Chains A and B, each alone.
Chain A
């Protein structure tokens, strides 16, 4: 059954869109990532214009994150205080990112910048997580007790403005989370994503938050950042397609619900391993696209 999307200006099969939304929602629920880094390229693939895909994804990601985070609230796996600190940084970062985005757009190489930042980020994050998850899995397999984690006092602990983050069991400076928030905000404005796939490892490896609160907190943070991004796109570019978003989110929220239930049953090591594999797969795909000779070297675009 075809449905016409008024802003995108095309018609697509409604069940295909349900499916896309469901798949991305599932990942969102399992991993605590918004899924924007998958949804946006998938929408390009089915023919949605890139500008509309980016803006509408942001809107859809927010919906599935709201759906998923409510489950985490109920299980008390959201560090609200940490989330608010990250969101404050995220808003500042998103505004900075918009400035960078607009100045680079006038140079005409924004696509390349987006691709390269995806590859660099996904590659480094993916390799890091993969290595870590692999050792963790091997350890679990040999049935060894994990080495007692020393409370290494790094810069996260020595900076001023320390606050207690009860849900995470941390007593650290607020400066690192704010900085992480700013970086995520900049990236999400430039790359049109929620930033969960960077935020999750950042919380684990930089802030040393326990894995069980990481996903809920990440989702909580994504809600505000993706909401702000969607609103900015709607106001400045008129590219949020509400019909597309609604169809996607009906699939997405359902997927997110199934995902959170599924995620609670999987072990933390397995989760990290799967997420790392996913991140690396997307990274490889993007790298191949840049390196291999394109079958059609020409592309059409609206004049600058």
Chain B
């Protein structure tokens, strides 16, 4: 009995810290890469569960905001910079970045810097620069920041990194949704979808879901064959090449009637 009382005491003490809670889901929990795959869309939607006794919704003074991030698998990347040497441009300096997401999109209900404090950003790796982690000392470069910026710039231009301010629709401080476009050059792996609820630039609640991106069907079969039975695969592709070459020659000869 005393134990239950103790537990209840803790429960009530702990409660104010989590006055809001997130319930969310994705429109699909896996993305299948098929032969006709040309990108995909993923809808993240959910609701904020207000604890009983929380202040009612006040349209004049909205205090909650939502940030949604979609992150691809983390991979090491080498960033190289060209420099002019003896009149030609060659790769000179290189910086190895330990872990950069293959894809990273961050949507927010307002501009990110207005709803997220710098410290929280640093701790949870939310904005794009903070999602790229741990710059090693493999390459010795003068200006490491320029290399990280270049990585972000190149991937942003390729549609892999994106900041999407005002792209989370938040209704009456409760219902939210965000739509993400995934490009066709998706890397396979486990993607992480994170949802953060912020209040006064502090994160008050967060929620994580995973999204599996996999090749399926014939794409899967070809990929596995190439990886696991390279010799068979190599011979098979040569056989296809020879057969196609011969076939076309025969077809044209037939068409010319000779």
The 0/1 profile, CB within 8 Å of B marked 1, for residues 221-261 of chain A is 00000010011011110101011011001100110110000
Most buried by B among A60, A70, A74: A70
Kindly report which residue of chain A lies nearest to residue B85, judged by CB atoms.
A112
Choose the segment among A166-174, A199-207, A294-302 that binds chain B (4+ C-beta atoms closer than 8 Å): A294-302
Residue of A nearest to B230 (CB): A235
Asked if B9 CB lies within 8 Å of chain A CBs, one says no
Q: Is the CB of A291 within 8 A of B247?
A: no
How far is A302 from B76 in the complex, measured between Cα atoms in Å? 7
A65 near B38 (CB under 8 angstroms)? no
A188, chain B: closest CB distance, angstroms? 16
The reply on B36 being an interface residue by CB < 8 A is yes
B151's partner among A71, A257, A300 (CB-CB below 8 A) is A300
Which residues of chain B come closer than 8 Å to A253, judged between CB atoms? 244-245, 247-249
Q: Is A67 at the interface (CB under 8 A from chain B)? A: yes
Q: Is A290 an interface residue (CB 8 A)?
A: yes
Nearest CB in chain A: distance from B225 CB, A: 9
Question: When the two chains form the complex, which single residue of B90, B215, B241 contacts A245, counting CB atoms closer than 8 Å?
Answer: B241
Bound Cα distance from A1 to B35, whole angstroms: 11
In the assembled complex, the Cα of A238 lies from the Cα of B237 at a distance in Å of 12
* Cross-chain contact A300 with B79 (CB below 8 angstroms): yes
Task: Give the CA-CA distance A254 to B91 in the complex, in Å.
Answer: 39
Q: Is the CB of A9 within 8 A of B230?
A: no
Whether, in the assembled complex, A27 has its beta carbon less than 8 Å from a beta carbon of chain B, the answer is: no
- Name the one of B77, B84, B220, B233 contacting A242, with C-beta atoms under 8 angstroms: B233
Interface residues on A, range: 35 or more
Tell me which residues from 28 to 72 in chain B have a Cβ below 8 Å from any Cβ of chain A: 33-39
| CB <8 Å contact, A296 and B154 | yes
Q: Are the CB atoms of B91 and A240 closer together than 8 Å?
A: no
Known: A62-B238, A298-B80. A249 touches B91 (CB 8 A): no
Distance in Å from the Cβ of B146 to the closest Cβ of chain A? 8
A286 to B40, CA, bound (A): 36
Write the nearest CB–CB distance from B82 to chain A, whole angstroms: 5
Is there contact, CB below 8 Å, between B234 and A231?
A: yes
B237's contact among A1, A74, A109, A234, by CB below 8 Å, is which? A234
Do residues B151 and A67 form an inter-chain contact, with CB atoms below 8 A? no
The reply to whether the CB of A160 lies closer than 8 angstroms to some CB of chain B is no
Residues in A neighbouring B185, C-beta threshold 8 A: 9-11, 47
Distance in Å: Cβ of B246 to nearest Cβ of chain A: 6
CB atoms of A300 and B154 under 8 A apart: yes
Q: Are A299 and B248 in contact (CB under 8 A)?
A: no
B219 and A6 form a contact (CB under 8 A)? yes
B248: chain A residues within 8 A (beta carbon): 67, 253-254, 256-257
| B89 & A298 in contact (Cβ 8 Å cutoff) | no
Chain B residues near A108: list those with CB within 8 A: 91, 94
User: Which residue among B33, B151, B238 has the maximum number of chain A CB atoms within 10 Å of its CB?
Assistant: B238
Q: How far is the CB of B93 from chain A (nearest CB, A)?
A: 10
Enumerate chain B residues within 8 angstroms of A302, measured Cβ to Cβ: 76-78
Bound complex: CA A243 to CA B184 (Å): 16
Across the interface, do B245 and A234 meet the contact criterion of CB distance under 8 Å? no
In the complex, A301→B76 CA distance in Å? 9
Contacts of A249 in B (CB 8 A): 240-241, 244-245
Chain A residue numbers with a CB within 8 Å of B84 are 293
Contact yes or no, B244 A250, CB < 8 A: yes
A146 at the interface (CB under 8 A from B): no
A39 within 8 A of B: no
A287 (CB) vs chain B CBs: closest residue: B88
Q: How far is the CA of A10 from the CA of B39 in the complex (A)?
A: 9
Interface contact B241-A9, CB-CB below 8 Å: no
Q: Give bound CA distance, A47 to B159, whole Å.
A: 13
18 pairs, A vs B, C-beta closer than 8 Å: A2-B38, A7-B226, A47-B185, A67-B246, A70-B245, A109-B90, A234-B226, A253-B249, A256-B248, A290-B89, A291-B89, A297-B89, A298-B146, A299-B79, A299-B154, A300-B77, A300-B80, A303-B78
Binding site for B on A (CB under 8 A): 1-4, 6-7, 9-11, 47, 59-60, 62-68, 70-71, 74, 108-109, 111-112, 227, 230-231, 233-236, 238, 240, 242-243, 245-246, 249-250, 253-254, 256-257, 289-294, 296-304
Closest 9 CB pairs of A and B: A66-B245, A234-B234, A253-B248, A298-B150, A63-B241, A2-B38, A67-B245, A11-B184, A70-B249
